[in-house]
Chains A and B, each alone.
Chain A
Amino acid sequence: MNRNASGCMKKDGKDHLVEEIIARHKNSNGALIPVLHEVQDLYGYLPAEAQAKVAKEMNVPISEVFGVISFYSHFALKPKGKFKISICMGTACYVKGAGPILDKLKENLAIGIGETTADGQFTLEECRCLGACGLAPVLTVNGKVYGRLTKDDVTGIIDDCKRDEEEIVQ
């Protein structure tokens, strides 16, 4: 199934879960951002239908909902790849050579920052300091941490992901 298909929302049965999230925050002031956090946890991103649902249920204009989503980098409008590679671009990692590692990742995956490979496998992201400066330079793949990297480690990390994928398929 095409993960990008926009019509999937109505059939996937998550509608009532969004309602539940909103109901839980009903009595709290300034609840829009906490609600969006939880809705994004539900879908992995914020599909247009979910945005409309949030706007309607919370009685705020959809323009305002979209305005908030587009302001904060944590909120995603597009689905992410199966493997989310986030490279730390904090100062400590940068000084210790995160730049060349990022270049190598871009080259190997043939995508830019914020992009997803055509097969939907990899998304490449820069992230702000993870605070693991003792392990600099650092990257994470779906939260798993790889530290004290050199650019020679890049191919191995991507191969790791592909191997995991094959194991799942088998």
Chain B
Amino acid sequence: MQLFRSHVLVCGGTNCTFANSEKIIAAFDKNLVENKLENEVKIVQTGCFGLCEEGPIIVIYPEGTMYFKVDVKDVQEIVQEHLLKGRLVSRLLQQSSEAVEGEYAIEKSSFFKKQMRVALRNCGVINPELIDEYIAFDGYKALGKALTEMKPMEIIKTIKDSGLRGRGGGGFPTGTKWEFAAKQDNEQKYICCNADEGDPGAFMDRSVLEGDPHSVIEAMAIAGYAIGANYGFIYVRAEYPIAVKRLQIAIDQAKAYGLLGDNILDTGFKFDLEIRLGAGAFVCGEETALMTSIEGKRGEPRVRPPFPAVKGLWQKPTILNNVETLANIPVIMLKGSEWFASMGTEKSKGTKVFAVGGKINNTGLIEIPMGTTLREVIYDIGGGIPDGKKFKAAQTGGPSGGCIPASHIDTPIDYESLIELGAMMGSGGLIVMDEDTCMVDIAKFFLEFTVDESCGKCNPCRLGTRRMMEMLDKITKGKGVMSDLDELENLAKDIKASSLCALGQTAPNPILSTLRYFRDEYEAHIRDHKCPAGSCKALLAYEVIEEKCVSCGLCAKNCPVNAITGSKKEKIPFVIDQDICIKCNVCFEKCPAEAIKK
């Protein structure tokens, strides 16, 4: 095997690929050849490192130096300085105020220090397109152990004892689900992987598929052996082209190595799987709808019971696990259930991956032990809120979830604590909001989403969500009445109780949660016709504060509809004509003296 003195890891996740990381790799290849380093330094395209905000990211080992926002034109300097002369390119190191001099090594950076990477263990470490790299990091060892040393019931016991719960949102104990399916007496059973990650602002599963696809394939084979299934489907969003490509490469490689197919590792166990592409229907993330979709039909959910573990795909016993859940399986098999259960809180074991976004400095992907507080996530790992703004709330669980207000920022994050707060773990999207975010508008945003994505099969969801959205729309336009709030609450409770599937049952959560913590904002919209966050256009009125105005005229010059008049020379004060104003916010943005209020 060829040895290299240095490895340059270049992030090939979606965010960094969008930000040109493939061209960076090409530039490295060219520069290494020019400097005759191609036999000393190896370039590796990896999965996501997590710090998407600062992408494209590269890490150079053995030092573990992490360079941020690398541009194609920086490559030559990195090769010349770092790789040839051994000097840091300090301008590309993390520039945040907390970055202590010399603290550049990846493990020591504030972003990674509090994280614990279990499901993401190989993301940003190996080349996901090479099975040998996965195997070198103990890949397929767990499958080997399962097939040669363990009985199916022992595997199920291990998973049950570990306390692993579904990471897709519901939090159902994985081992128990497997046990149900294993007990079914049926020749044909199926394993499905839910990679139809639909929550807006969530990209955990995509990052696992892009960065470590073999871990999911290995886990599905283990699950197949445990419940007696020999075929699997991975249902993945068509919007994830990089993930689909790497997954297909991984499946082909696993087949070529005899790790999928007939007689795996000479044990007589047969397991095969294929990818099925979603087609842009959010409801297909619901388990019964997903299975109907794999069957080639309209992805509508159906009544449970019977549960899929009894009658699933084509009426055969089927288990459906989320990508992140599966990514945990091989490590649990190798390190044992006690190791896994030692992390986390009493009822929520292990770690959870979150996609942190919105008004936060370090947008990206993080993995933390269950029980970490929201404060640690936002301030220690996330680097706080940009522009010195105030933290208002964090939204988890997407359109099915709710928000955690600033007053609960010290709550340890686990399944139970979030439910108690009226939010939910969800699949792991965590959107941070600051004082400029209007909570009524956010509730409306999620309702628009569910109205759009409701499949239409059951009344409460199809009609009810639309009625709720209309009421919210009325409120954001200043046309609401106080009784709307009680009506909203009643309707929300009815929809929760009577919808067929989880989409409808959880659709009212964003409203209930914002009503619980930000009722005053709703009331301000209705009673005072004011949007406290200054976000709902219909309720804004831009005005010039005369005392602060320096009569520079920038507002009038930039106003696209000439709604602002005034003159410094003639000492006419600047005023905004409310009838002409289109509330485009330009004057507010351009004013150097903060003399425009809204």
Contacts and interface: CB of A to CB of B under 8 A. Distances in A.
A95 B55 CA distance: 20
Given A134-B363, A136-B363, A33 B296 contact: yes
Given A71-B298, A128-B200, A33 B279 contact: yes
Interface stretch (A24-32, A115-123, A156-164): A24-32
A48 interface: no
Interface stretch (A8-16, A77-85, A86-94): A86-94
B351 interface: no
A71 B455 contact: yes
A91 B398 contact: yes
Contacts of A29: 295-296, 314
Given A91-B429, A129-B201, A73 B281 contact: yes
Contacts of A32: 296-297
A17 interface: no
B279 A75 contact: yes
Contacts of B585: 100
B14 A92 contact: no
Interface string B175-208: 0000000000000000000000011111100110
A132 B20 CA distance: 13
B566 interface: no
Interface residues of B, number: 53
A99 to B, nearest CB: 9
B281 A91 contact: no
A132 B52 contact: yes
B437 interface: yes
A131 B19 CA distance: 13
B460 interface: no
A135 interface: yes
A96 interface: yes
Nearest to A33: B296
A108 B179 CA distance: 57
Given A129-B199, A133-B15, A37 B238 contact: yes
A147 interface: yes
B203 A131 contact: yes
Nearest to A94: B445
B50 to A, nearest CB: 10
A31 B238 CA distance: 16
B15 A134 contact: yes
Interface string A91-112: 1101110001000000000000
Interface residues of A, number: 38
Contacts of A127: 239
Point out which of A30, A36, A73 has the most chain B C-beta atoms below 10 A from its C-beta.
A30
Nearest to B237: A128
Contact of A72 (B299, B395, B431): B299
B53 interface: yes
B111 interface: no
A96 B359 contact: yes
Nearest to B455: A71
A19 B240 CA distance: 27
Interface in B265-292: 274, 276-282
B18 interface: yes
A56 B295 CA distance: 19
Interface string B426-442: 00010101000100001
A34 B433 contact: no
A95 B276 CA distance: 32
Contact of A33 (B53, B282, B293, B300): B293
Contacts of B201: 90-92, 129, 133
A68 interface: yes
A68 to B, nearest CB: 6
A132 B297 contact: no
Contacts of A28: 274
B363 A131 contact: no
Given A95-B437, A136-B363, A72 B280 contact: yes
A92 B431 contact: yes
22 contacts: A30-B296, A32-B296, A34-B277, A36-B279, A73-B280, A74-B279, A89-B200, A90-B200, A92-B201, A92-B357, A95-B437, A127-B239, A129-B201, A131-B14, A131-B15, A131-B203, A131-B206, A132-B52, A134-B15, A134-B53, A138-B18, A147-B18
